C-alpha cells in the first residue's frame, strides 16, 4: 500500500452460512451435520477499493448490498472469508451506536470503558472528557445508569464518545441523523470540521444529498458486488436506475462499471432504441436544436432510461412572457414544459420535474400526483403536454433540470421514461441571500 492510501481493500469476500434451525448450526460447528444444512449467502463478492488520505468517500447501495459488512470488516468487527484489508491510521467508527456500552454502568463509566476499548489510556480520556460531555449535552443524567436513558440520550452519548476521539480515519454507518434536529445539526457541523481538517472519511448513507454534498467520490455496491465508483453525481444517477430495476447489472464476477457509452447504449437498448450518442437515437429521443431552447442548454450526456411505455419527446422552459429560454430572472414567474407520447396503455402516469445544483444535490421539484393535477388513464398513441408554473425563488446560479414519467403497476413503482440533468437553467439575480432559496424577507429598522 502506498503512503498516500489510508484504506486498501483487496479481493474482499464475505460468505455467510444461513441455517434454518439453531441445532443445525451447532451440529455443523461440531462436525456432526453430515450433509450440508445451510445455505450460502455472499455478502461481499471479490470487492476491491482504495481510499486516499484526506478523501471523503461515500458508499451507497440497496439494503443487503454489503455496505455495513464492508465497514465492519475494515474496522475489524468482522473477519473476511477471503481477501485482505490494510489500514494506515487510527480509526474511530460510528457503526452500531452504543455497541459495547454496559447498561448497568453510568455514562461516565461507559465513556472510559469505550475509550479504552478503542485504545486510549485513562489520561487521554481525561483530556477529552469535557468535550464529550459538552457534545452529548445530557446534563446530570451522565451520572445515572445507562439503562435509565431514553433512546435519544443513549445515542447522543454514544455519538459524542465516538466523534471526540480525534481519529485520523472516521468511519460512519448511517449515524449522522441521530437525536433531535439540533443534535443532528451539531453532528453535521462536526462532520464538516473533520473534512476541513483533512481527515479521511468513509461513510454509508441512504441520504443521497449528504453523499453529494460531502463526498469527493462515491462507491456503488449491489448484492455484494462493486458495481462502480466515481463522482457522487454519476453513482447516484446509476443507483436510481438500480432502485427501479433498469440498470443492466453485470454478472457477479464482473466488478467493473460499464463506461458512459455502454451505460447509455444499454439504457437505450432497454427502451427499444440505440445508443443515445448515435445520430438515429438523437433524432428519436430528444427534440432538435430549433425546437428546444438552444443546443448549448441541452446536455448531450444526459442519463436516460425507462421501460418504453412512454417517451418524453420535448422539454423546455418559458419565462413570464411565454418565451422559451434557459435564463430565468429571480423573482419572476416561469413555466417548465414537457411533451409525452405513450406507446402503451398506462393506468395513471405521473409527470415530474426536478432541479439539481451542479453538485447533483436535488434542490426542489414536484409532480402531477403531488399537485393533484392529473390522475387519469391514457391509451397507446396518446400525447400529452404538461406544464408546471411557479415563481423562481432559487438563488442566482446554474441548475440542472430533470424530467420523468412514472407510475405504479400492481403497487410496484415503474419508470416509463426519465431524462436526468437534461437541461441547464441559469437563474439571474442581483441579490443572493444565504442558502438555496430566497425567503423574500422584508427588513425594517426603527429608532427606539
pLDDT in tens, 281-311: 334 444 443 344 445 578 887 889 999 999 9
- Residue range of the domain that includes 362: 275-428
Beta strand 412-428 with 303-305 is antiparallel
Strand order through the sheet with 310-318: 310-318, 333-342, 383-391
| pLDDT, greater one: 431 or 288 | 431
Instruction: Say which residue, 272 or 14, is predicted with more confidence.
Output: 14
What mean pLDDT do residues 259-264 have?
A: 41
Structure-derived torsion over alpha carbons of residues 47, 91, 239, 421, reported in degrees to the nearest 10: -130
55 within a domain of the structure (yes/no):
yes
The total number of structural domains that make up the chain? 3
3-state SS assignment for residue 365: strand
Residue 11: Cβ-neighbour burial (10 angstroms; 0-12, 13-18, 19+): middle
Q: Is residue 85 domain-shared with residue 21, that is, in the same domain? A: yes
Neighbours of 136 (CB within 10 A): 25
Total residues belonging to the chain: 448
Span 255-264, average pLDDT: 41
Tell me: the pLDDT tens digits for 61-99?
988 899 989 999 998 889 999 999 999 988 887 776 666
Q: For residue range 147-192, what is the model confidence (pLDDT) as tens digits?
A: 999 878 888 888 888 788 778 898 888 766 666 777 777 888 888 8
Q: Is there a single domain that holds both residue 330 and residue 372?
A: yes
Confidence of residue 250 (pLDDT cuts 50, 70, 90): low
> Is residue 75 domain-shared with residue 210, that is, in the same domain?
yes
On whether both 403 and 416 belong to a single domain, the answer is yes
Helix ranges (DSSP H) in 164-231: 181-196, 208-214
How far apart are the C-alpha atoms of 26 and 1, rounded to whole Å? 40
Q: 221: which 3 cell numbers?
A: 455496491
Residue (of 267, 258, 438) closest to 363 by Cα position = 438
Which pLDDT value is given to residue 33?
66
Residues 39 and 145 in one domain: no
At 336, is the pLDDT very low, low, confident or very high (cuts 50, 70, 90)? Answer: very high
Name the percent of the chain in helix, strand, coil, to the closest 5: 25, 35, 40
Confidence band, pLDDT 50/70/90 cuts, at residue 403: very high
Q: What is the pLDDT of residue 134?
A: 92
Whether residue 66 is contained in a domain is answered as: yes
Mean pLDDT of the region 251-269: 41
pLDDT of residue 269 exceeding 60, the answer is no
- Please tell me whether residues 293 and 147 are part of one structural domain: no
Residues 222, 363: one domain? no
Burial class (CB in 10 A: 0-12, 13-18, 19+), 189: exposed
Residues 408-413, mean pLDDT to the nearest whole number = 91
Single out the residue in 148, 166, 184 at which a domain terminates.
166
CB atoms within 10 A of CB 225: 23
Contacts of 80 (CB under 8 A, 6+ apart): 12, 13, 14, 44, 73
Q: Report how far residue 233's alpha carbon sits from residue 358's, in angstroms, rounded to the nearest whole number.
A: 9
| Residues 346 and 386 reside in one and the same domain | yes
334-371 burial string, b = 16+ CB within 10 Å, else e? Answer: bebbbbbbbbeebeebbbbbbbbbeebbeeebebbbee
What confidence category does residue 217 fall into, taking pLDDT thresholds of 50, 70 and 90?
very high
Per the domain annotation, does 266 fall within a domain? Answer: no
Residue 241 included in any domain? yes
- pLDDT for the residue 292: 42
Higher pLDDT, 75 or 276: 75
Same domain? 6 vs 81: yes
Query: Residues near 181 by Cβ (< 8 Å), separated by ≥ 6?
Result: none
Q: Is this model's pTM higher than 0.75 or not?
A: no
* Judgement on whether residues 3 and 86 belong to the same structural domain of the protein: yes
Using left for φ > 0, alpha for ψ between -120 and 50, and beta otherwise, residue 381 falls in left
Where does the pLDDT of residue 322 fall: very low under 50, low under 70, confident under 90, or very high at 90 and above? very high
The closest of 240, 273, 221, 281 to 406, measured between CA atoms, is 240
Q: Are 265 and 292 in contact (CB under 8 A)?
A: no
Task: Identify the domain boundary among 257, 284, 303.
Answer: 257
**Residue range 8-36, pLDDT digits in tens:** 999 999 998 888 888 878 877 777 767 77
CB-based contact 340:351 (threshold 8 Å): yes
Q: What is the DSSP string of 333-358?
A: EEEEEEEEEESS-BSS-EEEEEEEET
CATH number, domain at 46? 3.40.50.300
Where would I find the H helices in 244-307?
260-270, 279-285
Amino acid at each position: 500500500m502506498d503512503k498516500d492510501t489510508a484504506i486498501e481493500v483487496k479481493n474482499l469476500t464475505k460468505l455467510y452460512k444461513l441455517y434454518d434451525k439453531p441445532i443445525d448450526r451447532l451440529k455443523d460447528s461440531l462436525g456432526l451435520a453430515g450433509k450440508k444444512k445451510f445455505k450460502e449467502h455472499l455478502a461481499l463478492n471479490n470487492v476491491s477499493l482504495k481510499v486516499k488520505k484526506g478523501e471523503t468517500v461515500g458508499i451507497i447501495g440497496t439494503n443487503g448490498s454489503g455496505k455495513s459488512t464492508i465497514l465492519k470488516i475494515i474496522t475489524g468487527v468482522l473477519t473476511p472469508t477471503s481477501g485482505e484489508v490494510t489500514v494506515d491510521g487510527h480509526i474511530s467508527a460510528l457503526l452500531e451506536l452504543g455497541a459495547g456500552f454496559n447498561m448497568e454502568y453510568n455514562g461516565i463509566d461507559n465513556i472510559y470503558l469505550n475509550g479504552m476499548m478503542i485504545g486510549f489510556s485513562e489520561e487521554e480520556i481525561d483530556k477529552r472528557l469535557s468535550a464529550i460531555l459538552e457534545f452529548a449535552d445530557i446534563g446530570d443524567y451522565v451520572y445515572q445508569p445507562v439503562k435509565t436513558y431514553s433512546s435519544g440520550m443513549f445515542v447522543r452519548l454514544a455519538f459524542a464518545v465516538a466523534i471526540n476521539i480525534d481519529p485520523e480515519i472516521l468511519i460512519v454507518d448511517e449515524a449522522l441523523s441521530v437525536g433531535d434536529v439540533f443534535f443532528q445539526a451539531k453532528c453535521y457541523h462536526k462532520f464538516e470540521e473533520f473534512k476541513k481538517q483533512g481527515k479521511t472519511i468513509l461513510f454509508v448513507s441512504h441520504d443521497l444529498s449528504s453523499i453529494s454534498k460531502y463526498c469527493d467520490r462515491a462507491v456503488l455496491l449491489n448484492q455484494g458486488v462493486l458495481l462502480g465508483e466515481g463522482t457522487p453525481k454519476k453513482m447516484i444517477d446509476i443507483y436510481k436506475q438500480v432502485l427501479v430495476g433498469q440498470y443492466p447489472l453485470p454478472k457477479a464476477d464482473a466488478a467493473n462499471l460499464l463506461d458512459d457509452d455502454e451505460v447509455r447504449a444499454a439504457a437505450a437498448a432497454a427502451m427499444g432504441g440505440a445508443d443515445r450518442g448515435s445520430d438515429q437515437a438523437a433524432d428519436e429521443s430528444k427534440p432538435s436544436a430549433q425546437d428546444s431552447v438552444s443546443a448549448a442548454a441541452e446536455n448531450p450526456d444526459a442519463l436516460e432510461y425507462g421501460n418504453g411505455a412512454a417517451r418524453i419527446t420535448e422539454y423546455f422552459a418559458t419565462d413570464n412572457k411565454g418565451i422559451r429560454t434557459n435564463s430565468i430572472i429571480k423573482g419572476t414567474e416561469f413555466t417548465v414544459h414537457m411533451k409525452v407520447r405513450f406507446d402503451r396503455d398506462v393506468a395513471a402516469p405521473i409527470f415530474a420535474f426536478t432541479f439539481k445544483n451542479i453538485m447533483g444535490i436535488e434542490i426542489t421539484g414536484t409532480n402531477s400526483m403531488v399537485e393533484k393535477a392529473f390522475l387519469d388513464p391514457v391509451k397507446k398513441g396518446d400525447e400529452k403536454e404538461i406544464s408546471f408554473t411557479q415563481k423562481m425563488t432559487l438563488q442566482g446560479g446554474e441548475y440542472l433540470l430533470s424530467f420523468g414519467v412514472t407510475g405504479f403497476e400492481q403497487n410496484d413503482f415503474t419508470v416509463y421514461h426519465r431524462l436526468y440533468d437534461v437541461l441547464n437553467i441559469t437563474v439571474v439575480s442581483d441579490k443572493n441571500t444565504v442558502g438555496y432559496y430566497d425567503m423574500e424577507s422584508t427588513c425594517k429598522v426603527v429608532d427606539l
